Amino acid sequence: MKAEYINPFVESTGEVFTTMLSCAPSWGDIRLDVGDSGPFEISALIGLTGTAKGTVEMSFPDTTAVAICNRLIGQENSEVNEGVIDALGEMVNMVAGSAKAKFKGHKINISLPTVVRGKNHIVEHPKGSESLIIPFESELGDFIVRVSFATS
């Protein structure tokens, strides 16, 4: 996958976290997804269409998810509930929305966010796509952003 496909998501994740959560996350080595990441407890996904077709996914341990929601909306939830689901959907929506403006020479549209819960769930992308994983660390906890684009 070209750097121009992944950089918008690295930048927009940093910007959304900094702006919305007053939290500047740092990212580690970006790596090819070979099915070795996760499992996670909660994942927020959104589809991308346009001149490049793909998916962006943010996956979190429950503790990170709850901490993000509490910071975002000023609550004190102790477990994943409807408010946390909504907050994660909003986070991936903002990250993808911010990233699409950064694509040079591409017109990208974003779909509706979906949130997947369940211990040990695995998100897979069928053949014909390539996925990169960006691991993030933050004071609210670790998480990953996975970006997948169709190879054809």
Between 10 and 92, name the residue whose CB sits nearer to a copy of itself: 92
What number of chain residues touch a copy of itself (CB under 8 A)? 40
Between 29 and 126, name the residue whose CB sits nearer to a copy of itself: 126
Q: Is 75 in the site for a copy of itself (CB under 8 A)?
A: no
Q: Is 113 in the site for a copy of itself (CB under 8 A)?
A: yes
Distance CA 75, CA 54 (A): 33
Question: Quick one: which segment of 10-18, 42-50, 58-66, 132-140 binds a copy of itself (CB under 8 A)?
Answer: 42-50
The single residue among 10, 16, 48, 140 that binds a copy of itself, judged by CB under 8 A, is 48
| Contact assessment for residue 84 and residue 72, using Cβ atoms and an 8 Å cutoff | no
Which residues, in sequence order, are CB contacts of 57 under 8 Å at separation 6+? 43, 44, 45, 46, 92, 123, 145, 146, 147, 148
The single residue among 67, 88, 134, 144 that binds a copy of itself, judged by CB under 8 A, is 88
Distance CA 14, CA 105 (A): 22
Q: Is 62 in the site for a copy of itself (CB under 8 A)?
A: no
The single residue among 37, 97, 117, 142 that binds a copy of itself, judged by CB under 8 A, is 117
Q: Residues 61, 113, 106, 52: what is their CA dihedral angle, to the nearest 10 degrees?
A: 80
Q: Is 49 in the site for a copy of itself (CB under 8 A)?
A: yes
The single residue among 14, 25, 54, 141 that binds a copy of itself, judged by CB under 8 A, is 54
- Mark 76-95 as b/e (b = at least 16 C-beta within 10 Å): ebeebeeebbebbbbbbbbb
Distance CA 81, CA 57 (A): 19
Contact footprint for a copy of itself (CB under 8 A): 39, 43, 45-50, 53-55, 57, 85-86, 88-90, 109-127, 129, 148-150
